[in-house]
Structure 1
Amino acid sequence: MYVDLSFLVPVGTFSTTPTLGLAGSWLGSFLSLVWSLACTHGFPSSGNFPCVVCVWAMRAGSKKILEAALRQYEDQEYLQLRYTCNTSQLPSEIASQFVQLDKDEETIAFLNKSRRNSGNICLQLLYTCVQILLSLFFSQTSINGLLEKGRMFVFSTKHLSLLLPSVSPALVLDIGSGDGHVTDKIRESFGVKSIRVTEMSRVMQRTLRKKKYQVLSVEKWHEEEVSYDLISCLNVLDRCDTPLTMLKRMHNKLSPGGHLLLTLVLPYQPFVESWASQAPPSEVLPLNEGDCWEEGVGELWEKTLKPLGFELMAVSRLPYLCEGDLNQDYFSLDDAVFVLKKK
């Protein structure tokens, strides 16, 4: 059986250097030849794993070559990073509080690091193999924690200073901290000595404890006799089972005049991650999944946040970035950012 890979055409834009691209292409051709010879000499040809490996390697190499040829300018982005919005489509009270942010040096540094990691074929192949094994026992979040991959980027320290210009919190709670990378930025930006965190993944909990964060119970954090000057809840509401209940609890745990830093991916597409599946949440926010960004922001404010008694201090739009894989340098979702104050 001869595996003809000549039909493979690069799709999309990928990373990084011609050397890596040629290596992947040669590897694909070599594996294709070896498997063809093996089948010729009597090895069983059933099963698609060898073909998949050949296809993967060839596609990887082709994509690397194409990417290197197309990217002539270092700052050329193939994924549109959205920071602006049509303020005329927002309610006036929201439009007046819109804060324009941009792609700054920290964001560019994250993107460049993601490109380098994506271009490391050996590293990405290792990730893929190990991930297949770990998926039998762990959720995707825990796998990312074990492999130290899939790091997120929500905002930079500069973004935080523009969103919360005159806030000096003494006690902070970060809900759904993940590996603590974003929490680190909050600690750095505000010089906070005391930050408490919650996190579902036990793997991530260990990482957070190593960083000297106090990890609270995800079921009982709201029962503690303490109030917070700042609570951050970043891209959690669309992944938790009871988002409306969580919003009410966060409002209750803020001190008078305290702030909630909230981000949510729009369009709204909620699910709850379990060990090896995704389930619908028990509660859903009153948002239409097909809404454009401006409509989603308006609905979230009018139907949920405003009735809870929050005061709108700032709203912004940011790309929610995640480190990529072999096929794509990075992934980007559309985030709505709210800075809310307890009246």
Structure 2
Amino acid sequence: MTGSLAEKVLYVVDRWLGRGSMFVLSEAQARALLQRANVGSRGFGAVVDVGAGDGEVSRRLARLYENKYATEISSCMRKSLAGKGYTLLDTEDWWRGQQFECVCMLNLLDRCTKPRSMLRQAKYAIAPGGVLLLALVLPYKPYVEVTADHKPEERLPIDGVTFEDQLSSFARWMRTEAGFELCAWSRVPYLCEGDFSQAYYWLDDSVYVFKPIAI
């Protein structure tokens, strides 16, 4: 068994056993971040978590909305999401024909092949007055499982060395090129259950609330 295949098998087994759970925001933190963006917690409408995994990262903030949707390519993760009350959407066409009060892309852009395309899709899918809730680990180090060289087909043009420099670079590009206005942001630890050698792992996560800029 190759190392990459072994890692994939271990990942699936961990998910089935409920191990390796990740944490970004609590419900209270998500509510506060949305309120800072003058969105509030209206308790209605729809939220979609794109690339949701097992749904543990988004399940707390999903309670702020009446209807919750998700996309995920892994079959075992899709079963987990369905069991948690998510309505599953097609991974290619999720953004067509329906709009959402909140589109979540939580630690997705550095793990997908075409992050710029994903952002364009998100813009189409956000309802009037809705937001994009986005999390991105900084420093930016994209790693894609499905490509031979593990590099994305599209790379985000994030410059700088420090967390602050890269955050400013990303927010500037989101406004000038992607067409999103930054409304609120926070720096949080991205936590993951550990293993025999370490109790937990953490990374620096930048979390943003963006609104599409009206054309």
2:144 alignment partner in structure 1 = 272
Whether the aligned pair in 2 keeps the contact of 1:134 and 1:143 (CA below 8 Å) is no
8 Å CA contact retained: 1:285, 1:304? no
Contact 1:139 1:274 survives alignment (8 Å): no
Higher mean alpha-carbon deviation, 173-182 vs 320-329, is at 173-182
2:171 equivalent to 1:286: no
2:127 to 222, 244, 255: 255
Shift in Å at residue 136 of structure 1? 4.2
Structure 1 residue 143: Cα displacement: 3.4
SS of 1:273 mapped into structure 2: coil
Q: Is the 8 A contact 2:142 2:152 kept in 1?
A: yes
* Equivalent position SS for 2:156: coil
Instruction: Note the residue ranges of structure 1 that are not aligned, 5 or more in a row.
Output: 1-131
User: What do the CA deviations read for 1:19-50 (whole angstroms, capped 9, x no partner)?
Assistant: xxxxxxxxxxxxxxxxxxxxxxxxxxxxxxxx
- Rounded to whole Å, the distance in 2 between the matches of 1:305 and 1:234 is 19
What's the Cα RMSD here? 2.3
> Equivalents in 2 of 1:262, 1:335: separation in Å?
10
Larger gyration radius, structure 1 or structure 2: 1
Query: 1:193, CA displacement in angstroms?
Result: 2.7
d(CA) in 1 for partners of 2:3, 2:138: 32
Is the aligned partner of 1:198 residue 2:75?
no
2:111 to 231, 235, 239: 239
Cα drift, residue 137 of structure 1 = 8.7
Do the aligned partners of residues 136 and 291 (structure 1) sit closer, same or farther apart at CA in structure 2, a change above 3 Å counting? same
1:183-240 Cα distance to aligned partner (Å, 9 max, x none): 220233x1x23111011211111111112211112122122x1111111110000000
Q: Name the aligned partner's letter for residue 147 of structure 1.
A: L
Distance 1:137 1:270, change over 3 A: closer
Change (3 A) 1:216 1:140: farther
How many corresponding residue pairs? 207
| CA–CA distance in structure 1, aligned partners of residues 100 and 145 of structure 2 | 28
Cα deviation 1:96-137 (Å, max 9, x = unaligned)? xxxxxxxxxxxxxxxxxxxxxxxxxxxxxxxxxxxx999449
Structure 1 runs of 4+ with >6 Å offset: none
Q: TM-score, normalised by structure 2?
A: 0.88
More helix by share: 1
